[in-house]
Amino acid sequence: MNKINELFANSKDRKLLSLYFCAGAPTLDGTADVIQTLQQRGISMIEVGIPFSDPMADGPVIQDAATTALKNGMTLQMLFDQLKAIKEQVHIPLVLMGYLNPIMQYGIERFCQACVDSGVSGMIIPDLPFDDYLKSVKPAADKYDLRVIMLITPETSEERIRFIDDHTDGFIYMVSSAAITGAQKSFDEQKQEYFRHINAMQLRNPRMIGFGISNKQTLQAAQDNAAGAIIGSKFVSLLSEAGGDANLALDRLFEALAQ
């Protein structure tokens, strides 16, 4: 069974926490250490960012991390090599999050094969049109038993949400707002209503809520309304401040999430 499906099948009564970091930032060779540390500290799933020069869905924190990673010399092939080296030690799902351009340049079939070879369970491609997903990406992903995770926002129509639910597997990434990534202090009533509306749809796929989670209030709201929460910008900032020390960054993250 794909590790993503296995995670959700075995976690009915616990709230999941997934963290994002950008490969190659703040240090070129830190990918393996960050992943292994997060696994040891009980993180449920890890999103590994593929650095790209124009990350349109991301706020300044993740944009800066991508710029740092590219300056450090991180490439997609180097990332696969780093992941492959620790494949046997990683037991939680790894999801690559990256934009379509570098993946297409690498080649969809080759990319999927490399994901399997390096222990990756799925991918998130924010700028992938759904029609292209159905025609080009899904067949290759299905061939290699990979999950392509789609994002929904408060502006996604109910019809489109149900279509995504019918044609994807793994989980649905539920973006808390239509804005770019970045920390928020709280989720207002409009966002809470959006969460309740999606819950009432009784979708087939589990959902994870991301964008803006940085403290106890936003974490609890996400975990109360979905299978769990995804934290990106807050952890990326803390990892940078800690000079790549994932243990220290996690200590500071858990402290922030308790407040």
The residues assigned a catalytic role are 47, 58
Biggest distance spanned by C-alpha atoms of the chain: 46
Q: Which is nearest to 257 in space by CA: 185, 166, 149?
A: 185
Provide the token pair at 21.
Answer: 């970091």
Q: Kindly list the strands in the beta sheet with 122-124, ordered across the sheet, starting from the edge strand earlier in the chain.
A: 147-149, 122-124, 94-97, 45-49, 16-22, 228-231, 207-210, 172-175, 151-152
Q: What is the dihedral of CA 194, 198, 199, 204, to 10 degrees?
A: -160
Provide the token pair at 252.
Answer: 């500071």
> Which amino acid is it at 69?
A
